[in-house]
Amino acid sequence: MPAATGMARSLCIFAVAVAAGCVTQPPPAPDAARSRCGTAPIFAEGAERSTLWIRHSAEFRAASETIYRAAEAALAQGLADPGRSAEPAQTGDFSLLPPAVVMDIDETVLDNAAVQVRMLLDETCFAEFAAVWDAWVAERAAPAVPGAAEFVRAARKMTDARGRPVRIFFITNRECSRRAGDDSACPQQDDTAANLRALGLDAAALADDLMLKGERPDWAGEKLSRRVEVAKSYRIVLNVGDDLADFLPGVRRQGVPERERARCAHDARWGRQWFMIPNPMYGSWLVALGPDAGAALAAAPPVLQDCKRPSAPPSL
**pLDDT exceeds cutoff 70 at 249:** yes
What mean pLDDT value characterizes the chain?
87
Task: Give residue 42's pLDDT.
Answer: 77
Within the chain, which residue ranges are assigned CATH 3.40.50.1000? 68-109+144-279
Task: Give residue 6's pLDDT.
Answer: 42
Mean pLDDT for 208-218 is 94
CA–CA separation, 252 and 283 (whole Å)? 9
Q: Model confidence over 254-271: pLDDT tens digits?
A: 999 999 999 999 999 999
Q: Quick one: pLDDT band at residue 16, thresholds 50, 70, 90?
A: very low
Mean pLDDT for 12-40 is 52
* Torsion region of 21: left, alpha or beta (phi above 0 gives left; psi -120 to 50 gives alpha): left
Q: Per mean pLDDT, which of 11-25, 65-79, 289-303 is the most reliable?
A: 65-79
Helix, strand, or coil here: 9?
Answer: helix
Q: Are 145 and 134 in contact (CB under 8 A)?
A: no
The phi and psi torsions of 39 (rounded to 5 degrees) equal -90, 0
Q: Quick one: pLDDT band at residue 83, thresholds 50, 70, 90?
A: very high
What CATH class is the domain 68-109+144-279? Answer: alpha beta
CA–CA separation, 55 and 59 (whole Å)? 10
Q: Quick one: pLDDT band at residue 309, thresholds 50, 70, 90?
A: low
Query: Which of the pair, 216 or 306, is modelled with greater confidence?
Result: 216
Q: Model confidence over 91-133: pLDDT tens digits?
A: 999 999 999 999 999 999 999 999 999 999 999 998 899 999 9
What predicted TM-score, i.e. pTM, was given to this entire model? 0.86
Q: Quick one: pLDDT band at residue 305, thresholds 50, 70, 90?
A: confident
Helix, strand, or coil here: 43?
Answer: coil
